[in-house]
Every structure is written in structure tokens, then in C-alpha cells.
Structure 1
Amino acid sequence: MYEELPDEELFGPGDFSDSGELEVDNIMNEAESHENDAQLTPDPLISSNSEPQKTVFPSIPGLFLYKNLLTQEQQNKLVDAIINEGYFERPESNQAMCFGTLPPFIMRVVDIIENIPSIFPDEIKHRKPLFDQSIINVYKPGDGINSHVDLDRFEDGIVIISLLSACAMKFIPAYLINKELGYSDTSTATNPNEVIPVILRPGDVLAMSGPARYDWAHGIEATKIDIIGDERIVRKVRVSITLRKMKEIQVLNQCADN
């Protein structure tokens, strides 16, 4: 099911900065530039006996970054499928939501994620379904999203898939910005003012659970260039897919409303 909702229905009020207009041609042009550099490789699922290389963040338990988890061919297929669905044909559209049984092109990625042995604790990893809600966002250069903790209507265990362009996502202790929303006031950060940047590149998959999901807020600065250490990232059009699972009571309420 596809649904467009106001931004405040997704993360809380005022999260997106400078959403602006976007034409689907921009996505297609960006995808074509990546496809020209693609190396055609098989599209296997990850073996359940293997653990892809991951980056851990000692200050943020439960935050794992799987670099280049998706091959270039897999990324191209995802972008092609998003374009073919027509989510962003209207210039003003920059976000699409799916509930329940997710589209086949997203389920292909879910299959990959389910086969990563330690991406989530067992109680999350073995739930059925692993995800039943997705958000597809398109970011123009300069777009950002304010720091936030995903709403409590969603269960623990969230994944972000990054496509087309790199950017820096910043994590800060959640209580600094949204203590009034009822999330934990206790951060696992040793420094309460700590800011941890995470560079997301095309094909990367970021997983959040436990403290990473509840005690830390994440956001993307509204800028066209990210400076992280000695690295300078010039943003292009970026697509992200966020995967979550709604709490059972939310599913029941939604069915009743329908």
C-alpha cells in the first residue's frame, strides 16, 4: 500500500528542512551516471553462515554500518524499481510510504538483511515479519532532516539503506533535543554533548537497535557539502529507504480506521 503523509506524521513536527521540488528525471540521470560505472556481478543473497564486514561505534551500542552491502547492480535495480513505481513523478513529491506487505523490490533487500547473523538481537531478527513499513525519501543537494528519534509507534530495530550519493548522518544524545517526547533521558554517551558523524555512501546499510534506536537522535544537516575530518563530500541527489516494523497496536488501529 502506498500513502503520502505530512512530515509530522512520520517523525514529529518540523523534521525536514528545505524539501523543495524534485523531478524524477533527476533521479534517473543520477542512476544512469552510477550505472555507467557499474560492474555487472551476480546478485546472490548473503549466506546465513557469513557476517559482512561492519563498522561498530563504541559510544553507540546497537549501531552497525555495513559498507557496500549492496552491489552496484543491486543498487541500480532498486533505483530502477523506485522510478518504475512512479512515486516521484510529481515535482512536489519527495517521500513515499508503504505499509504491510512490502513491494518485491524492497523485500529483496529484506532477504539480504535477514541473512546477516548479528545485525539485530535475536528477539528482533526472528520476528515475523522483520519489517512491515518503509519510507522512501529523495534528497536534493542541500536537503536535510532534523535530528530525531523515530516515533514510539515503531518497534525496535530500524534499517536505513543509502543510494546514489554520499552524505553525513550525525548522531547526538536524544535527550538534548526531544526529552519532551517521552524517550529515555539517559544516554549511553560518555560525553553528553557528543556528536558522532557517520558517512553513508551508496550501497551502505545502517542498522539501529537498543540504545542506538532510543537513546540517540540521528539527522542530516541541510548543506550541499559535508566536511568530516579531511574528507569533503559534495552531495548529489540521494535516495534512502528506511525499514521499520509497526507495533501491533498500531497495526490494529490502522485496520480499524480503514
Structure 2
Amino acid sequence: MPERDLALLAQAAAEAGDIALRYWRQDPRAWDKGGDQGPVSEADLAVNQHLEQLLRGARPDYGWLSEESADDPSRLDARRCFIIDPIDGTRAFLDGQEGFSHSLAIAEGEEIIAAVVFLPARNTTYLATAGGPALKNGAPIAPHDTEIEGATALTNKTAFVPAFWRGGVAPPMKREFRPSLAWRLCLAAEGRFDAALSMRAAWEWDIAAGSLIAAQAGAAVTDRHGAAMRFNSPKAQVDGLVVAAPRLHAEIMARLEP
């Protein structure tokens, strides 16, 4: 079943990419959602509409959780649930940058069983199923095994605020940033960067797909307290994230305030 679901997600991601690229660098209409939620564009909504029609049409008994759809509490009673970000990295998309993605996942209970992250402007596909390998454009990926000294973390500036770290001392890591959180998890999964961190609550649609891809690549994937991530929750949020190869993950957790 996860393999059939993965094929469906891959088809949906490719079609989402075709739609998004029709708007990309074409000055699409955009507006702020308010409440510190950031921008949304007509492209986000067009992609979301297509994905919902395609995916729910194919799996009508699955629940639906998407950044651009009103939350339907019935998803909590579904055995499986789609968790979707139609365009992750909307600011980058509107700026004409390549670093936006489509993040598509399926949860069974609280766990992700199939995931695709597709960057259409870069023609790059990451995917995984529970129990299967993590692949980038068909090739297996794995995280970089390294120590914390000099490691590079994909994160925003707030992650290195001293209050988050034992003794008020942030770790000796370099910081990089990419606009799509889903892509950041995949970049850590493939060892392009050493870790992906967030000390802030993360929306499930941003991290559901990337979390499975990173885990199947061999990374340790937890919330910022070291607990396993749980999905299709009422709040649809995970309390931060730490994603890295197991040795580095352990070093990061040892330095974080509990």
C-alpha cells in the first residue's frame, strides 16, 4: 500500500510542479494571510485545488490537512491522512527563486508512511516510504556523519539564541538557510548540510514529508526535546525539530536546554 500511495504522490507532485511553473516568474497575484502567517498567492491556491481534487478523488477515505485548506476535524478519525503544503517557500517562489517545493505526505495514524518533496524549478525529487530507502532523483541518499564542531545547520537565526542552549552557550556550528523547510530536511538527509534545526513549533505540512525522507535516509529525526514526531494531531504542529546523523543529533540534544 505505501508503494501505491507513493506513486500517487509522485504523480501529484509532478502535476503540481507543472501548475506552479506556469505562475513562477510571471508576477502572480499575492497577498498576506495575516496573523504572521506570511504570503499566499494564486499559484498556491491553484496547486492546492488541483492536489485536493486529484488526491482525494483517488483516496476518498483519506483525511486532508493542507496549509491552504480550512481544517476539517474529520481527518482525526481517518485511518490515513494526506498532509500537504502546496508550495513550501512561497516567498522564494514570489521572488523568482528556485528554492520552493511541493511537500506531499500520507500519515497512517500518527506516523508518515509515504512522502515526496519535489522542487520543480530544480527538477529535483526526494521520496521515501516507511521501511524503504530515501531517494533523490532515483539514487539513495544518506546524512553526513560528523561531530558538532564546525558542522553546518540549516536553520533561522533564532535557533542559536543562547536561551535555548545549556549554559547559555550556542554550539560551534555554522548557520545556513534555505527558504523551504521541507527542502532543508531533505538537504540534511542527503548530507549536503549536516543538520536541520528549528526551536519554534513547525506546521506538520512543512515537515511531514521531509521527516520521513530524512529518517529513511538514516538521520535521527525528533522534535526539539528529542521525542518522536507525531502527525495528524489536532494542533497540526510539532514542537521544533532536530534532524541530523545519529552522532551529531546526540551531540546537539546534549547541549539543548530540556
Q: TM-score, normalised by structure 2?
A: 0.27
Whichever structure has more helix as a proportion of its residues is 2
Q: TM-score, normalised by structure 1?
A: 0.27
